[in-house]
Chain A
Amino acid sequence: MTRPPVVTGIGVVAPNGLGSVDYWSATCAGISGIRAVERFDAQGYASVLAGEVREKDFKAEERLPGRLLAQTDHMTRLALVAANWALEDAKVEGSTRDALDRGVITASSAGGFEFGQRELQNLWRMGNEYVSAYQSFAWFYAVNTGQISIRHGLKGPSGVVVTDQAGGLDAIAQARRQLRRGSKLILCGGVDGSICPWGWIAQMAGGRVSHSDDPAAAYLPFDDRAAGHVSAEGGAILVLEDAQAAEDRGAPKVYGEIAGYAATFDPQPGTGREPALKRAIVGALADAGVAHDEVDVVFADAAAVPSMDQIEADAIAAVFGVRAVLVTAPKSMTGRMYAGAAALDVAAALLAIRDGLIPPTINVRPARRYPVEVVTALRGPMLVQVAVVIARGQGGFNSVLVVRGPRGNAGRKRETREARYVRQDI
């Protein structure tokens, strides 16, 4: 039996925090990054709020070489920086020897869409000779994987998964497959966003974006007032390593392991068949060899569309029991960042395990019709060993990932564990 792969580094870019330290402290404190759109004038649109990673906070030119700025969309810049941070966190040194065993697998939803809008405008307003030489790869879905691979010399098995909002989990699962096939390290996850007018109206066309102009009331999953989500950008990149390889290179810390995964697809509407989410949860637990009562917390997909919240709450209750497991949605503080969202939830789950803290779902008054225990204020310190992350993509994609704390500390006292992490962080 091979050991599950381990997460040894985390890089986060989120509307409520740049870097995993800032993101996590904001998230535990219930601080939201949802605000009025600043990237462009959104006042003429039905949706006016976003979870932006603002350029004035991010300052791309201080973090990336000018050569890369010219050829990248905003979301790719965020991905490049998240990848940097993840590798630094894991203290991964560049290595020619291992290059072919280190790959990159990211999730994408719309590619570099803001870049794409600008070039479409150049084409149609000015003419075909005005289209950028970078358009051929700045827009396409594989851009983040390619750019991260080049920047860090990672030549191993690489790829891109597009499953809408489920993608963040599917990318991590695909990374696990590549590790099982013999790779040693895969940078994986998703950083995404298409906050530009053209992306904005395309997202609104999906019919699930909130029209509220009140940041505290715009994204309310499992609440009677739920009326869609807030669109956002950002996500997380994780360093996932073969457990033995991580040990061999002396990885300084292990956040936890990717213990289980399953993906299912919902039947076409109108067929009268059952939604498939519950099957994905059951499958992921079975894959992890984890019983439902061993799970400490569920990070919900939290669509904030009543019918979808009902399906998710019912599936959770069917597997774990009615209000029998803590359920939270820290994305209530960031909005939904498409291919980036679920990867960020995995990062949050690992940090929850590390610190024994369960971040809240903010602004929400859970409605009784949802048979789940939604965490609305920070919980902990408490022992958190196993977390389940649920992600769903528009069209019927369901993915579920099980993460577990580092091996060897089962049964240990939480204080001991915290002390160990403090020591490692110094």
Chain B
Amino acid sequence: MPRRVVISGIGVVAPGGIGAKEFWSLLSDGRTATRRISFFDPSRFRSRIAAEIDFDPADHGLSQQEIRRMDRGAQLAVVAVREAIADSGLAFVNIDLARVGVTVGTAVGATMGLEEEYRVVSDDGRLYLVDSEYAVPHLYGYLVPSSFAREVAWACGAEGPVAVISAGCTSGLDSVAYACDLIREGSADIMLAGATDAPISPITVACFDAIKATTPRNDDPEHASRPFDLTRNGFVLGEGSAMFVLEELESARKRDAHIYAEIAGFGARCNAFHMTGLRLDGAEMAAAIKAALNEARLNPEDIDYINAHGSGTKQNDRHETAAFKLSLGSHAYKVPVSSIKSMIGHSLGAVGSLEIAASVLAIQHNVVPPTANLTTPDPECDLDYVPQTARQWQTDTVLSVGSGFGGFQSAMVLRGVDGRAA
């Protein structure tokens, strides 16, 4: 019998508010945190909208040295993990640090820090032979984003297995699944796991512009992220981090911890089709969902809510809808499905963990967050997407899915312990 792994602490830094409480209040109110980009002048770009966080690391206890050496992505993760640890009630005394590990998902790493430093060493692109005189000492930590996991490990003292997981936009799900496996197999007892990304910089905006993946609905930023809506025309870039405390069920019970949910099953597949394109039959995502259900020993009918990838691109929303039908059969038409990207945008590698947080909070509150801005149904997306307002809904078991560049498809089943949230 493999060890059962539960989430016993949550920390969130997301657009619209810092902390899990703020996050849930935004989602359950159906408010959106998308706006015109303020981090730089976006007027030259096709898509000028993002879900930005008003975040000053100094307000959250980071020292000047930490702020200097950490890219924004690492800063968000460290703030999130501190909240998660506090929330879990775990006192990091009398804990064997060798049994504590860390996984951090990220799709694009320290892209903001890298771009800022690139501008300096290249003198705004004039130099191909960039000038090492201007290289800052922490540049190596920007080059290789395993520094993000290092920062989280240092923040909690972990000396067990530590890693960054980077499978594009499924990183946030894959990171938590990786951590879950480490506990199940006995390599660790406690994992600080989650994901972070802070990609709102000119190079990221430009590269999504180039493939028209992001929305050009620049005249209406608050309503620009429109998953499953007929008028959707691309995603809205976002940023954020969610980190969790994962531990084995019995140890959580023993210390009388608040248990949010069990990670009951996970499945991942690849579509092996195209780096950015999707085949509309959704076969591989459906296979991932079936694998997750299988591992959880659950049937389609057991799923009370689907937290969708719902990026708001034409192809994703159709692909995903097909995958739900293929994997869940007729139950796909009965189960509420929603995309929180309608409110917090698409924070690439981080968003999978933010969606796990939303999923377990849905279990906690018996409330399904809505798909904001869904006003004009798309006949090709014909499921129950919980338009605009949150729904009171008995929610014990949630399926959360992700889909990413590179063809990655991931699915996780989260379940209230003993059939009910604690």
B400 at the interface (CB under 8 A from A): no
- Place the interface of chain A in its size category: 35 or more
Known A-B contacts A197-B129, A338-B144; A154 and B272 likewise in contact (beta carbons under 8 Å): yes
In whole angstroms, how far apart are the Cα atoms of A124 and B130 in the complex? 13
B95 at the interface (CB under 8 A from A): no
B158 to chain A, nearest CB (A): 6
Binds B, one of A21-29, A100-108, A347-355: A100-108
B203 touches A123 (CB 8 A): yes
Which residues of the other chain, A, contact B158 by a CB distance below 8 angstroms? 265
Chain B 114-158 near chain A by CB (<8 Å), digits 1 or 0: 010011011011101111100111111111111101100110011
A149 touches B98 (CB 8 A): no
Binds B, one of A41-49, A215-223, A380-388, A402-410: A41-49
Binds A, one of B248-256, B363-371, B381-389, B401-409: B401-409
Binds B, one of A199-207, A295-303, A418-426: A199-207
Which residues of the other chain, A, contact B131 by a CB distance below 8 angstroms? 201
Known A-B contacts A202-B143, A276-B159; A161 and B210 likewise in contact (beta carbons under 8 Å): no
Please classify the interface of chain A as helix (H, G, I), strand (E, B), loop, or mixed, using the class held by over half of its residues. mixed
In whole angstroms, how far apart are the Cα atoms of A137 and B135 in the complex? 26
Task: Tell me which of B44, B126, B159, B165 contacts A162 (CB under 8 A).
Answer: B165
Task: Tell me which of A142, A154, A263 contacts B163 (CB under 8 A).
Answer: A263
Binds A, one of B19-27, B84-92, B273-281: B273-281
Task: Tell me which of A100, A142, A164, A177 contacts B406 (CB under 8 A).
Answer: A142
Known A-B contacts A100-B269, A265-B102; A197 and B130 likewise in contact (beta carbons under 8 Å): yes
Known A-B contacts A174-B178, A201-B139; A45 and B406 likewise in contact (beta carbons under 8 Å): no
Known A-B contacts A198-B121, A279-B98; A131 and B206 likewise in contact (beta carbons under 8 Å): yes
B270 at the interface (CB under 8 A from A): yes
Known A-B contacts A128-B206, A174-B178; A110 and B408 likewise in contact (beta carbons under 8 Å): no
A275 to chain B, nearest CB (A): 10
A120 touches B161 (CB 8 A): no
B109 at the interface (CB under 8 A from A): yes
In whole angstroms, how far apart are the Cα atoms of A181 and B269 in the complex? 13
A262 at the interface (CB under 8 A from B): yes
Q: Which residue of A lies closest to B155 (CB)?
A: A268
In whole angstroms, how far apart are the Cα atoms of A201 and B130 in the complex? 8
A123 touches B125 (CB 8 A): yes
Which residues of the other chain, B, contact A163 by a CB distance below 8 angstroms? 146, 149, 162-164
A109 touches B161 (CB 8 A): no
- From residue 195 to 245 of chain B, which have CB atoms closer than 8 A to chain A? 202-203, 205-211, 213
In whole angstroms, how far apart are the Cα atoms of A162 and B118 in the complex? 22
Task: Tell me which of A141, A149, A202 contacts B135 (CB under 8 A).
Answer: A202
Binds B, one of A249-257, A313-321, A326-334, A393-401: A393-401
B70 at the interface (CB under 8 A from A): no
Which residues of the other chain, B, contact A263 by a CB distance below 8 angstroms? 160-163, 187
- From residue 96 to 121 of chain A, which have CB atoms closer than 8 A to chain B? 99-100, 103-104, 108-111, 113, 117, 119-121
A135 touches B178 (CB 8 A): no
Which residues of the other chain, A, contact B122 by a CB distance below 8 angstroms? 120-121, 124, 198
In whole angstroms, how far apart are the Cα atoms of A45 and B178 in the complex? 40
A202 touches B209 (CB 8 A): no
B129 to chain A, nearest CB (A): 5
Q: Which residue of B lies closest to A158 (CB)?
A: B270
Chain A 152-163 near chain B by CB (<8 Å), digits 1 or 0: 111111111111
Known A-B contacts A125-B125, A198-B118; A136 and B211 likewise in contact (beta carbons under 8 Å): yes
Task: Tell me which of B118, B143, B269 contacts A203 (CB under 8 A).
Answer: B143
B406 to chain A, nearest CB (A): 3
B129 touches A40 (CB 8 A): yes
B166 touches A142 (CB 8 A): yes
B405 touches A137 (CB 8 A): yes
A194 touches B149 (CB 8 A): no
A84 at the interface (CB under 8 A from B): no
Q: Which residue of A lies closest to B119 (CB)?
A: A124
In whole angstroms, how far apart are the Cα atoms of A402 and B248 in the complex? 27
Which residues of the other chain, A, contact B406 by a CB distance below 8 angstroms? 137, 140, 142-143, 145-147, 149
Chain B 40-75 near chain A by CB (<8 Å), digits 1 or 0: 000011000000000000000000000000000000
B125 touches A137 (CB 8 A): no
B130 touches A264 (CB 8 A): no
B185 touches A177 (CB 8 A): yes
Which residues of the other chain, B, contact A265 by a CB distance below 8 angstroms? 101-102, 150, 153, 158-162
B190 to chain A, nearest CB (A): 13
B367 to chain A, nearest CB (A): 32
Task: Tell me which of B119, B168, B209 contacts A131 (CB under 8 A).
Answer: B209
A267 at the interface (CB under 8 A from B): yes
Task: Tell me which of B45, B138, B202, B268 contacts A159 (CB under 8 A).
Answer: B268
A395 touches B146 (CB 8 A): yes
A133 at the interface (CB under 8 A from B): yes
- From residue 10 to 66 of chain A, which have CB atoms closer than 8 A to chain B? 40-41, 44-46
Task: Tell me which of B126, B162, B210, B272 contacts A153 (CB under 8 A).
Answer: B272
A170 touches B163 (CB 8 A): yes
A157 touches B269 (CB 8 A): yes
B143 touches A113 (CB 8 A): yes
Q: Which residue of A lies closest to B210 (CB)?
A: A133
B181 at the interface (CB under 8 A from A): yes
B146 touches A397 (CB 8 A): yes
In whole angstroms, how far apart are the Cα atoms of A119 and B109 in the complex? 17
- From residue 158 to 203 of chain A, which have CB atoms closer than 8 A to chain B? 158-164, 167, 170, 174, 177, 181, 194, 197-203
Which residues of the other chain, A, contact B202 by a CB distance below 8 angstroms? 123, 128
In whole angstroms, how far apart are the Cα atoms of A263 and B140 in the complex? 22
A266 at the interface (CB under 8 A from B): yes
B407 touches A205 (CB 8 A): no
B33 at the interface (CB under 8 A from A): no
B273 touches A150 (CB 8 A): yes
B276 touches A136 (CB 8 A): yes
Known A-B contacts A131-B210, A160-B166; A104 and B270 likewise in contact (beta carbons under 8 Å): yes
In whole angstroms, how far apart are the Cα atoms of A85 and B167 in the complex? 24
Which of A's residues lie within 8 Å of B, judged by CB?
A: 40-41, 44-46, 71, 99-100, 103-104, 108-111, 113, 117, 119-129, 131-133, 135-137, 140-143, 145-147, 149-150, 152-164, 167, 170, 174, 177, 181, 194, 197-207, 262-268, 271, 273, 276, 279, 338, 393-397
- 11 new A-B contacts, CB < 8 A, other than A125-B126, A149-B406, A177-B181, are A120-B122, A123-B206, A125-B125, A135-B210, A141-B109, A146-B406, A155-B272, A163-B146, A263-B161, A264-B98, A394-B146
Which of B's residues lie within 8 Å of A, judged by CB?
A: 44-45, 97-98, 101-102, 107-109, 115, 118-119, 121-122, 124-126, 128-132, 135-147, 149-150, 153-154, 157-168, 174, 178, 181, 185, 187, 202-203, 205-211, 213, 267-276, 284, 287, 295, 404-408
CB-based closest 7 A-B pairs: A146-B406, A124-B125, A206-B140, A125-B125, A395-B150, A141-B166, A205-B139
- Can you report 22 A-B residue pairs in the complex whose CB atoms are below 8 A from each other? A41-B129, A110-B143, A110-B144, A126-B125, A128-B45, A137-B275, A140-B166, A140-B406, A142-B107, A142-B404, A146-B407, A150-B274, A197-B128, A202-B139, A205-B136, A205-B140, A205-B143, A265-B101, A265-B160, A273-B159, A393-B144, A394-B140
